Structure 1
Amino acid sequence: MRMGRFFVLVLGLSFFLGISAFWTSPAKAGDVEVVSKKSGVKSRGSVRKASLRRRGSRRKSGRIFASGNGSVKSPWIVRTAAQMEALAQSVNQGNSYSGQRIRLMADLDLSGRRWNPIGFYRERGSRPFKGVFDGNGHVVRGLNIEAPAAGMAGLFGVLEGATVVRLTIEDASVSGGSNVGILAGLAVRSELKNCSVSGSVLGTENVGGMIGKASESRMSGLSFSGTIKGRASSAGGLIGSMFGTVLARAEVRGEISGQDNVGGLAGNVRQGELSEVRTRELGVQGRKTVGGLIGFASDSVIIRRSLFDGMVEGKENTGGLVGWVESGTLTDNTVSGSVLGWERTGGVAGLWVNGLARRCIVEATVSGTAGVGGFAGRMERGIADRCETLGYVEGGKSVGGLVGEMVSGRLENCMASGSVKGVLTSGREIGSTSR
Structure 2
Amino acid sequence: MINKVLILLIVWLMSSSFLRADSKIWNGTANISWYDKTKISFEISSAEALAGLAELVDAGNDFRNKTIILTEDIILNENVLNENGELNNCNFKSWTPIGISYNEEKNRLFAGTFNGDGHVIKGLYIISEKTSLGLFAHVGQGGVVKNLGIEDSYCLSIKENQAIGMICGYNRGLIQRCYNSGIIVGETNYCNVGGICGFNENGTVEYCYNTGFIKGSESGGVCGMNTEGMILQCYNTGIVTGYNCAGGICGSLYDGGVRFCNNTGKIVGVGEYSDVGGICGRGDGLIRDCYNVNMVTGAYAGGICGSNGISGRIDNCENQGVVNDGENEGGDVGGICGRNQGAISNCKNMNVVKAKYASIGGICGCNSGVKSIIKNCYNTESISVMGIPSIGGICGYNAGGTILFCHNIATLAAENVRDLGGICGYSAEGTISNCYNRGNLTGSSIDEFGGICGYSAKGTISNCYNTGALNGTVCDLGGICGYNPDGIINNCYNTGTQTGTANKVGGICGFSGATVNNSYNMGVVAVVGEKSGGVFGWNITNSVTNCGYLEGSSNIGIGDDFYELGIEAVKEMNVQEIINVMNVCFTTKENWITKASYENGKMILPTLEGEDPPTVAISTTSNEKLSNNNYIKAYCKDNCLYVYTPQLERVYVIDLNGTIIRSRKQSGLQSYEGLKPGVYLVHVNEKVLKILVTL
Aligned to 1:140: 121
1:404 aligns with 2:396: yes
- Find the residue that maps to 1:259 and give its secondary structure: strand
Aligned to 1:104: 70
Structure with the bigger RCO (C-alpha within 8 Å, sep 6+) is 1
Aligned pairs, number: 364
- The alpha-carbon deviation at position 249 of structure 1 amounts to 0.4
- Find the residue that maps to 2:359 and give its secondary structure: strand
Q: Give CA-to-partner distance per residue, 1:346-386, whole Å, 9 cap, x none.
A: 1111111122x222010121111231100111112422222
- Whether the 8 Å contact between 1:284 and 1:292 is mirrored in structure 2 is no
Q: 2:34 aligns with which of 51, 61, 65?
A: 65
- The alpha-carbon deviation at position 415 of structure 1 amounts to 1.2
- The alpha-carbon deviation at position 410 of structure 1 amounts to 2.2
The amino acid across from 2:45 in the alignment is R
1:420 aligns with 2:403: no
Q: Give CA-to-partner distance per residue, 1:136-193, whole Å, 9 cap, x none.
A: 111111111111x5332100011112111111111210111311110111112x0111
1:319 aligns with 2:319: no
1:60-209 matches, within 5 Å, as 63-65=32-34, 70-71=39-40, 75-111=41-77, 112-121=92-101, 123-147=104-128, 149-161=129-141, 162-176=143-157, 177=159, 178-188=162-172, 190-203=173-186, 204=188, 205-209=191-195
Aligned to 1:268: 252
CA distance in 1, matches of 2:154, 2:283: 28
Aligned to 1:286: 270
1:244 aligns with 2:228: yes
Q: Give CA-to-partner distance per residue, 1:64-102, whole Å, 9 cap, x none.
A: 32889643xxx2110011100111111112211111111
CA distance in 1, matches of 2:36, 2:411: 66
Q: 1:386 aligns with which of 353, 376, 394?
A: 376
The amino acid across from 1:191 in the alignment is L
The amino acid across from 1:87 in the alignment is L
Please report the TM-score for the alignment, with normalisation by the length of structure 2. Answer: 0.51
CA distance in 1, matches of 2:38, 2:121: 23
- The alpha-carbon deviation at position 225 of structure 1 amounts to 0.6
CA distance in 2, matches of 1:143, 1:69: 30
- The alpha-carbon deviation at position 422 of structure 1 amounts to 2.0
- The alpha-carbon deviation at position 320 of structure 1 amounts to 1.1
- The alpha-carbon deviation at position 397 of structure 1 amounts to 2.4
CA distance in 2, matches of 1:220, 1:114: 28
The amino acid across from 1:103 in the alignment is I
Q: Give CA-to-partner distance per residue, 1:251-299, whole Å, 9 cap, x none.
A: 101211121122111111101111110011433333211111111112x
- Find the residue that maps to 2:52 and give its secondary structure: helix
Which stretch has the larger CA shift, 195-204 or 377-386?
377-386
Aligned to 2:632: none
The amino acid across from 1:350 in the alignment is G
Question: Which structure is larger by alpha-carbon Rg, 1 or 2?
Answer: 2
Which stretch has the larger CA shift, 158-167 or 275-284?
275-284
**What is the root-mean-square deviation of aligned Cα atoms in Å?**
1.9
- The alpha-carbon deviation at position 62 of structure 1 amounts to 9.8
Aligned to 2:333: 345
Aligned to 2:238: 254
- Whether the 8 Å contact between 1:107 and 1:140 is mirrored in structure 2 is yes
- Find the residue that maps to 2:131 and give its secondary structure: coil
Aligned to 2:428: 434
- Whether the 8 Å contact between 2:313 and 2:342 is mirrored in structure 1 is no
- The alpha-carbon deviation at position 409 of structure 1 amounts to 2.3
Q: Give CA-to-partner distance per residue, 1:186-245, whole Å, 9 cap, x none.
A: 112x01111111110011311111111110011210100111111xx3111111111000
- Whether the 8 Å contact between 2:230 and 2:257 is mirrored in structure 1 is yes
The amino acid across from 1:152 in the alignment is S
Flag structure 1 segments of 5+ consecutive residues without an equivalent.
1-60
CA distance in 2, matches of 1:151, 1:211: 13
Aligned to 1:32: none
Q: Relative to 1, partners in 2 of residues 1:391 and 1:93: Cα closer, same or farther, differing over 3 Å?
A: same
- Find the residue that maps to 2:282 and give its secondary structure: strand
Q: Relative to 1, partners in 2 of residues 1:228 and 1:133: Cα closer, same or farther, differing over 3 Å?
A: same
Q: Relative to 1, partners in 2 of residues 1:196 and 1:77: Cα closer, same or farther, differing over 3 Å?
A: same
Q: 2:350 aligns with which of 363, 369, 374?
A: 363
Q: Give CA-to-partner distance per residue, 1:99-143, whole Å, 9 cap, x none.
A: 111110111111143111100035421111111101111111111
- Whether the 8 Å contact between 1:262 and 1:286 is mirrored in structure 2 is no
- Whether the 8 Å contact between 1:66 and 1:77 is mirrored in structure 2 is no
- The alpha-carbon deviation at position 329 of structure 1 amounts to 1.9
CA distance in 2, matches of 1:78, 1:197: 20
Aligned to 2:204: 218
Please report the TM-score for the alignment, with normalisation by the length of structure 1. Answer: 0.80
- Whether the 8 Å contact between 1:252 and 1:282 is mirrored in structure 2 is no
CA distance in 2, matches of 1:238, 1:78: 26
- Find the residue that maps to 2:266 and give its secondary structure: strand
- Find the residue that maps to 2:130 and give its secondary structure: coil
- Find the residue that maps to 1:94 and give its secondary structure: coil
Flag structure 2 segments of 5+ consecutive residues without an equivalent.
1-29, 78-91, 430-695
Percent identity of paired positions between Structure 1 and Structure 2 = 26
Aligned to 1:310: 294
Which stretch has the larger CA shift, 286-295 or 166-175?
286-295
The amino acid across from 1:328 in the alignment is G
The amino acid across from 1:135 in the alignment is G
The amino acid across from 1:305 in the alignment is D
- Whether the 8 Å contact between 2:262 and 2:292 is mirrored in structure 1 is yes
1:377 aligns with 2:365: yes
